[in-house]
Amino acid sequence: MGSGSSVNVNYKYSLQKSENAFKAAVLIQRWYRRYVARLEMRRRCTWRIFQSIEYACEQDQIKLHNFFSYLMDNFTPSSSKERDFISRMFISGESFKEAELEKYCDYESLEVPDSYTGPHLSFPLLPDHATALLEAFKQKQQLHARYVLNLLHETRKHLKQLPNISHVSTCYSEEVTVCGDLHGQLDDLFLIFYKNGLPSPSKSYVFNGDFVDRGKQSLEILIILFTFLLIYPKEVHLNRGNHEDHMVNLRYGFTKEVMQKYKLHGKKILKMIQNVFCWLPLATLIDQKVLVIHGGVSNTTDLDMLEKIQRNKFISVLRAKKRKELNRNVEIKEINGESQAEPDSAGNETMSSLPSQPRPAQAPSMANRVEFSRWVRQTVQEQIEWCRKLVDISDSEEEELTCSSLVSLTDLDGPCWTRQEEWKQILDILWSDPMPQEGCRENTVRGGGCYFGPDVTGKILEKYNLQFLIRSHECKQDGYEFCHNRKVLTIFSASNYYEIGSNRGAYVKLGPDLVPHFVQYQANKTAHTLTMTQRISRVEESAFRALREKLFAHTSALISAFKVYDKDNTGRITLSNWATAVESVLRLGLPWRMLRPQLVRSTADGMLEYKSWLDDLAMEQRSQEHIQSSLLEVIYRNRSNLETIFRIIDRDHSGLISFEEFHQTWKLFSSHMNIELTDDGINDLVRSIDFNKDGNIDFNEFLEAFRLVKQSQ
Amino acid sequence: RQACSASGSAARKCDLKAKDGVVAEIEKKITEAFKVFDHEGNETVDVREIGSIVRSLGCFPTEAELHELLAKVEEEEPTGYVHLEKFLPVMTKVLLDRSYRPIPEDVLLHAFEALDENKSGYITKEELVKHMTEEGEPFTEEEMEEMLSSALDPETNAVHYRNYISLMVVDETDDLPQ
pLDDT in tens, B3-12: 334 455 555 6
Instruction: Tell me the torsion sign for CA atoms A277, A280, A282, A287.
Output: negative
Q: What is the largest CA-CA distance in chain A?
A: 132
> How many angstroms separate the CA atoms of A698 and A90, rounded?
22
Q: Are the Cβ atoms of B52 and A40 closer than 8 angstroms?
A: yes
Strands A165-168 and A283-286, bridge-based pairing: parallel
When scoring B43, B56, B59 by the number of chain A Cβ atoms within 10 A, the one with the most, hence best to mutate, is B56
Average pLDDT of the segment spanning A213-218: 92
Structure confidence at residue A415 as a pLDDT band (50, 70, 90): very low
> How many angstroms separate the CA atoms of A22 and B135, rounded?
6
When scoring A16, A20, A23, A32 by the number of chain B Cβ atoms within 10 A, the one with the most, hence best to mutate, is A32
Burial class (CB within 10 angstroms; exposed 0-12, middle 13-18, buried 19+) of B17: exposed
Range picked from A84-98, A321-335, A689-703 for highest mean pLDDT: A689-703
Range picked from A12-16, A194-198, A601-605, B12-16 for highest mean pLDDT: A194-198
Average pLDDT of the segment spanning A78-98: 61
- Within 8 A of A41 by CB-CB distance, chain B residues are 33, 36, 52-53, 56
Instruction: Compare A548 and A99 and report the one with higher pLDDT.
Output: A548
Percent of chain A with pLDDT over 70: 71
pLDDT in tens, A108-142: 888 999 999 999 999 999 999 999 999 999 999 99
pLDDT for position A411: 40
Average pLDDT of the segment spanning A1-18: 71
What DSSP string describes A258-311? HHHH-TTTHHHHHHHHHHHHTTS-SEEEETTTEEE-SS---TT--HHHHHHS-G
The rounded mean pLDDT for chain A is 78
Task: Give, in order, the Cα–Cα distances in Å from A665 to each of A251, A337, A490, A648, B139.
Answer: 17, 17, 40, 11, 62
Contact (CB, 8 A) for A372 and A445: yes
pLDDT for position A357: 41
Contact (CB, 8 A) for A351 and A334: no
Residue of A nearest to B48 (CA): A37
Give the DSSP H/E element, type plus range, for residue A177: strand A176-179
pLDDT for position A488: 97
Amino acid code (one letter) for A254: F
Q: What is the 8-class DSSP label of residue A171?
A: T
Give the DSSP H/E element, type plus range, for residue B138: none
Q: Which of A168-182, A327-341, A560-574 has the lowest mean pLDDT?
A: A327-341
pLDDT for position A689: 57
When scoring B106, B135, B169, B173 by the number of chain A Cβ atoms within 10 A, the one with the most, hence best to mutate, is B135
Average pLDDT of the segment spanning B115-135: 91
Instruction: Tell me the torsion sign for CA atoms B165, B170, B174, B178.
Output: positive
Contact residues for A490 (Cβ-Cβ < 8 A; gap 6+):
A180, A434, A471, A472, A473, A474, A476, A480, A481, A482, A483
pLDDT in tens, A500-545: 888 899 999 999 999 999 999 988 766 666 777 777 888 888 888 8
pLDDT for position A204: 94
Q: Are the Cβ atoms of A34 and B149 closer than 8 angstroms?
A: no
Contact (CB, 8 A) for A451 and A410: no
Average pLDDT of the segment spanning B130-152: 91
- CA distance to partner chain B, nearest, from residue A524 (Å): 18
Which three-class secondary structure state does DSSP give residue A408? strand
Q: Are the Cβ atoms of B176 and A20 closer than 8 angstroms?
A: no
Amino acid code (one letter) for A415: P
Residue of A nearest to B150 (CA): A531
- CA distance to partner chain B, nearest, from residue A506 (Å): 21
pLDDT for position A361: 47
Active-site entry in A243, A484, A554, A653:
A243
> How many angstroms separate the CA atoms of A488 and A478, rounded?
16
Q: Count Cβ atoms below 10 Å from residue A696 Cβ, excluding itself.
A: 16
pLDDT for position B130: 93
pLDDT for position A656: 79
Of the candidates A545, A551, A595, the residue with the CA atom closest to the CA atom of residue A713 = A545
Structure confidence at residue A445 as a pLDDT band (50, 70, 90): low
- Within 8 A of B60 by CB-CB distance, chain A residues are 30-31, 34
- CA distance to partner chain B, nearest, from residue A596 (Å): 8
Q: Are the Cβ atoms of A35 and B59 closer than 8 angstroms?
A: no
Amino acid code (one letter) for A344: D
Residue of B nearest to A484 (CA): B40
- Within 8 A of B37 by CB-CB distance, chain A residues are 44
Q: In chain B, positions 112-131, which contact chain A (CB-CB < 8 Å)?
A: 112, 114-115, 131
pLDDT in tens, B28-87: 999 999 999 988 778 999 999 999 999 999 899 999 999 999 999 988 787 888 999 999
Average pLDDT of the segment spanning A326-355: 35
Contact residues for A676 (Cβ-Cβ < 8 A; gap 6+):
A670
- CA distance to partner chain B, nearest, from residue A318 (Å): 30
Full-model pTM: 0.71
Res A91 pLDDT > 60: no
Q: Are the Cβ atoms of B137 and A436 closer than 8 angstroms?
A: no
Tell me if chain A has a CB within 8 Å of the CB of B61.
yes
Helix B105-115 × helix B161-172 angle, to 10°: 150
Q: Phi/psi of residue A698, each to 5°?
A: -85, 100
Q: Are the Cβ atoms of A20 and B114 closer than 8 angstroms?
A: yes
Q: Are the Cβ atoms of A29 and B137 closer than 8 angstroms?
A: yes
b/e sequence A238-271, b meaning 16+ C-beta within 10 Å: bbbbbbbbbbbbbbbbbbbbbbebbeebbbbbbb
Average pLDDT of the segment spanning A96-114: 81
To the query of whether residue A243 is one of the catalytic residues in this protein, the response is yes
b/e sequence A92-123, b meaning 16+ C-beta within 10 Å: bbebeeeeebeeebebeebeeeeeeebbebee
Contact (CB, 8 A) for A121 and A129: yes
Structure confidence at residue A54 as a pLDDT band (50, 70, 90): confident
Contact (CB, 8 A) for A650 and A697: no
pLDDT in tens, A298-332: 999 999 999 988 898 887 776 443 332 223 333 33
When scoring B152, B171, B173 by the number of chain A Cβ atoms within 10 A, the one with the most, hence best to mutate, is B171
State the complex-level ipTM: 0.87
Q: Phi/psi of residue A213, each to 5°?
A: 85, 150
What DSSP string describes A452-502? E-HHHHHHHHHHTT-SEEEE-SS--TTSEEEETTTTEEEEB--TTSSSTTS
Range picked from A273-287, A639-653, A685-699 for highest mean pLDDT: A273-287
Structure confidence at residue A69 as a pLDDT band (50, 70, 90): low
Residue of A nearest to B61 (CA): A30
Burial class (CB within 10 angstroms; exposed 0-12, middle 13-18, buried 19+) of A459: middle
Average pLDDT of the segment spanning B80-101: 92
Percent of chain B with pLDDT over 70: 84
- Per 3-state DSSP, what percentage of chain A is helix, strand, and coil (rounded to 5)? 50, 10, 40
Average pLDDT of the segment spanning A255-265: 90
Q: Count Cβ atoms below 10 Å from residue B81 Cβ, excluding itself.
A: 15
Tell me if chain A has a CB within 8 Å of the CB of B170.
no
pLDDT for position A322: 31
Q: What is the 8-class DSSP label of residue A329?
A: H
Tell me which residue in A436, A533, A593 faces B150 most closely, judged by beta carbons.
A533
Tell me if chain A has a CB within 8 Å of the CB of B136.
yes
Structure confidence at residue A71 as a pLDDT band (50, 70, 90): low
> How many angstroms separate the CA atoms of B178 and A457, rounded?
53
Give the DSSP H/E element, type plus range, for residue A179: strand A176-179
pLDDT in tens, A396-411: 222 333 333 333 333 4
Give the DSSP H/E element, type plus range, for residue A212: none
Q: In chain B, positions 14-53, which contact chain A (CB-CB < 8 Å)?
A: 24-25, 28-29, 32-33, 35-37, 39-42, 51-53
Q: Which of A343-352, A557-566, B56-65 has the lowest mean pLDDT?
A: A343-352
Instruction: Compare A704 and A255 and report the one with higher pLDDT.
Output: A255
Burial class (CB within 10 angstroms; exposed 0-12, middle 13-18, buried 19+) of A311: buried
